[in-house]
Chains A and B, each alone.
Chain A
């Protein structure tokens, strides 16, 4: 195979990865939390990982 073919394949794969990421991200956010797990939250007392409001995950959680 020529180099161009490889390049095209690589680009296709990268784009596919990006699409997978976006789709799974949106799906993950849209999937309802299973029963019995609604009240699980990161307890700031127990988890100070990025407990600072700036951490992206915290912001998202706050918004949800």
Chain B
């Protein structure tokens, strides 16, 4: 049972860091570039995405023994498209501003590689609960990745954080960080999206390289230390032996 518990936690966390769908697997890049103009839009996209992912993973996992092997992909596509339609209609009814902001990209969740990929790779082979946890982890990981991109784009592009424009049920608040006239509106355009995404990937690659280097260095130092110890030991043994001979 203890192992099972650890597995669930690991299963949840893997989607956030080790297998982050956006920054590690580079999947679902289209909405990541298009809907990260503001943090709010990113949060909205992340939530909708997570809802679709969780629902489709649950249903696929429930039906995994019923769907014949032959028609798995068509069945999954239909399931995902149905959930996207539902999510779309609900968003349109209750959060029309969010619907306006995201536009076509809500529909495009259907062709998001992550949803179909998780359904095929995970939910079709695992139990319902595990699939749920997997979907939640992946969804949260994707949402966090979107938010981190939107963070830079919004603060650099507009100079302030604005809330309440998309989620109209909270009062509109604007918090200015960069003084007016010093913001770089380029970051609100597509150009900024590409730059921010590229730089984030580069920073992640840098950290990864650095870690690998450090590990290698540590390993090398350990090896040298061991060699020295071994040499010292053998020298000591030699000296001992010589001393004994005398």
Interface residues of A (CB under 8 A from B): 18, 21-22, 25-26, 29, 48, 50, 52-56, 59-60
Contacts and interface: CB of A to CB of B under 8 A. Distances in A.
A18 B78 CA distance: 9
In the A-B complex, the 10 residue pairs with the smallest Cβ-Cβ separation, listed nearest first, are A54-B117, A52-B25, A56-B120, A54-B121, A56-B116, A22-B74, A22-B71, A25-B74, A50-B113, A21-B74
Main secondary structure of the interface of B (DSSP, over half): helix
B40 to A, nearest CB: 29
Contacts, number: 45
Interface in B94-119: 113-114, 116-119
Interface string B4-32: 00000000000000000000011100000
B70 interface: yes
Main secondary structure of the interface of A (DSSP, over half): helix
B73 interface: yes
Contacts of B76: 56
B122 to A, nearest CB: 8
Contacts of A56: 73, 76, 113, 116-117, 119-121
A29 B25 CA distance: 27
A60 B121 CA distance: 10
A21 B81 CA distance: 14
